Amino acid sequence: MSDEIKDQFRQAMRRLASTVTIVTTRNKGVIAGMTASAVTSLSMAPPSLLVCVNKTAGLHSSISSTDYFCVNILRHGQDEISNAFAGKLTAEQRFDVGSWGHDKSVPYLRDAQAAIFCKRATVYEHGTHSIIVGEAVELMLGDPITPLVHVDGRYSAVTPSFQR
């Protein structure tokens, strides 16, 4: 693949807005987490999602070999937590930022927009990343709906254009 295609692809992806999440897990007693924007819904039957994790990421070995993980969907104003898990802090310091609880031995952000607890179903390898499929086993939802969004290298907020 040419450098020009790689650069254009990178620029195109900066135009793809995504909700910011923190993916967390516990493996052999050690908690781990990272900020991720490559998370998406996969299926309603069974309810499942996929998470893409770079093979060089610290979370990779933990999430690809443990049974459970949690996708914490961040809300507007949780930039500091996102930054902590994006590498601004060491792996050991990250859980000092935010209010963390534990369920199924997996850390979750108590005031997240939503926390989706998943059982790891499948792991696929593609290029530099692993695609982890998780089946939802429990959910926690928070209102109002104000997700933290990442686009063009910056955080933003989305306000729904309707009221429930």
pLDDT at residue 164 in the model: 58
pLDDT at residue 105 in the model: 79
Taking the domains of the chain in order of start, what are their residue ranges? Answer: 3-157
Omega of the bond leading into 144 within 30 degrees of 0 (cis): yes
Lowest mean pLDDT, pick from 35-39, 43-47, 55-59, 103-107: 103-107
Cα–Cα distance measured from residue 101 to residue 110, given in angstroms and rounded to the nearest whole number: 6
Which ranges of 25-100 would DSSP assign to H, the alpha helix?
A: 60-63, 79-83
Please state which CATH number belongs to domain 3-157: 2.30.110.10
Cα–Cα distance measured from residue 68 to residue 11, given in angstroms and rounded to the nearest whole number: 34
Q: Tell me: the pLDDT tens digits for 134-158?
A: 999 999 999 988 999 999 989 988 7
Question: Rounded to two decimals, what is the model's pTM?
Answer: 0.92
Cα–Cα distance measured from residue 29 to residue 129, given in angstroms and rounded to the nearest whole number: 24
